[in-house]
Structure 1
Amino acid sequence: MAKFYDRLEEKHVAFIKAQKMFFVATAPLSDAGRVNLSPKGYDSFRVIGPNRVAYADLGGSGAETLAHVRENGRITFMFCAYEGAPNIMRLYGRGEVMQFNDPGFAEEIAKFPPGHERARDIIFADITQVQDSCGWAVPFYEFKGERDQLLRYIEHKPLDEWHESRLAKNAQSIDGLPGMIRPEAAE
């Protein structure tokens, strides 16, 4: 049976730190829009405080998470135990996007491990509720390591070219919501 908390407790933070993967879910306001669920890894999640978290968004094939968060702020994170005692933890909250060309980004991304410098954004979230549930149906998996394809892919271009490619390829979500914002468009 699920238990609900109004903040992250030490046991929750310890569980989060032990996980190698998490999922992030968002949705647009439009009924015609698609719900997005993305797996994340690379030690990209950080607990800032009992009600504040962040993750370095290295990017991928779309811009759904950042577009949905910009539109309405709703975000859910899910962590599952694949080893040891069964557990599923969900963090419900309201997010905000700090893009790579926003003031303060360099200082914030420096708080993540090496390899995250090329993140297209950091998603910060204020957590309004934590749910802990049994996870009995989650199978066991053995962690063998991180895939290196994404890091190799994003490291092959000079940083300014990489940023330009993100601005071009992630300008909107698959449902047409604004994604990455060019500095001149933000003014």
Structure 2
Amino acid sequence: MAKQFDGIGDAHRAFIEDQHIFFVGSAASDGRVNVSPKGQDSLRIMGPNRIVWLNLTGSGNETAGHLRDVNRMTLMWCSFTTRPLILRCFGTARTVHPRDEDWAELAGMFGTPLGARQVYDMTVDMVQTSCGYGVPFFDNPRPRETIATWAEDKGEDGLLAYWEEKNRTTIDGAETGIFE
């Protein structure tokens, strides 16, 4: 039942924009594969083959480390409501840090919240849809405000210290590039 497409069509875009959560998958050439849930107002579809998403501070920084080794990324959405559908975007991505020239432009699309640590600029080379018949129903999706409160409590200096302690390397010990 899976179908592949060269880019994000209007129906794909509408589906993505209707979801409250997406998952990012990445892997280095060896070590662990990482799949991480993302939410908030952290993703923009820039065209049929480009997605930009903001990465907030978290307990790990696997995607950044993985992309330094192997430039590939998968994003996935699945419907937890009436329409059963899973949509994946496959491609490559570049990591944009606060020190990079285009940080202000890209992070600015999200209001540059405190705790923003990277933006990923993804080139989509394939979109795949599949049925989603096995995905359960979930009710009452709403955003958590915890991450914003946590970042505000830490402050800028506290966030930098946290990045140093928790985000400098992946769980497999690969450098993430956060402080280059």
TM range (shorter): over 0.9
Moved more, 46-55 or 136-145: 136-145
Distance across 2 between alignment mates of 1:26 and 1:164: 25
Specify the SS of the correspondent of 2:116.
coil
Q: Is the 8 A contact 2:114 2:148 kept in 1?
A: no
The question of 1:126 aligning with 2:123 is answered yes
Partner of 2:41: 43
Partner of 2:142: 145
Once the two structures are superposed, residues 25-46 of structure 1 have per-residue CA deviations (whole angstroms, 9 ceiling, x without a partner) of: 001102xx00000000002111
Report the TM-score when normalising by structure 2. 0.93
Displacement, 1:147?
1.5
Distance across 2 between alignment mates of 1:39 and 1:4: 23
Specify the SS of the correspondent of 2:154.
coil
Which ranges in structure 2 are unaligned for 5 or more consecutive residues? Answer: none
1:30-109 residue pairs with structure 2 within 5 A?
Answer: 30=30, 33-109=31-107
Displacement, 1:47?
0.5
Q: Tell me which amino acid in the other structure corresponds to 1:74.
A: R
Which ranges in structure 1 are unaligned for 5 or more consecutive residues? Answer: none
Partner of 2:8: 8
The question of 1:156 aligning with 2:153 is answered yes
Distance across 2 between alignment mates of 1:122 and 1:181: 12
Q: Tell me which amino acid in the other structure corresponds to 2:102.
A: G
Q: Is the 8 A contact 1:25 1:75 kept in 2?
A: yes
Q: Tell me which amino acid in the other structure corresponds to 1:111.
A: M
Specify the SS of the correspondent of 1:36.
strand
Specify the SS of the correspondent of 2:58.
coil
Report the TM-score when normalising by structure 1. 0.90
User: Cα gap change, 1:138/1:154 in structure 2, threshold over 3 Å: closer, same or farther?
Assistant: same
Distance across 2 between alignment mates of 1:86 and 1:39: 19
Q: Is the 8 A contact 1:34 1:175 kept in 2?
A: yes
Once the two structures are superposed, residues 69-96 of structure 1 have per-residue CA deviations (whole angstroms, 9 ceiling, x without a partner) of: 1221111000001112100000000011
Distance across 2 between alignment mates of 1:54 and 1:115: 13
Identity fraction in percent: 38
Distance across 2 between alignment mates of 1:160 and 1:116: 15
User: Cα gap change, 1:150/1:115 in structure 2, threshold over 3 Å: closer, same or farther?
Assistant: farther
Q: Is the 8 A contact 1:166 1:180 kept in 2?
A: no
Once the two structures are superposed, residues 132-153 of structure 1 have per-residue CA deviations (whole angstroms, 9 ceiling, x without a partner) of: 1110010111134112221111
Indicate the RMSD between aligned Cα atoms, in angstroms.
Answer: 1.5
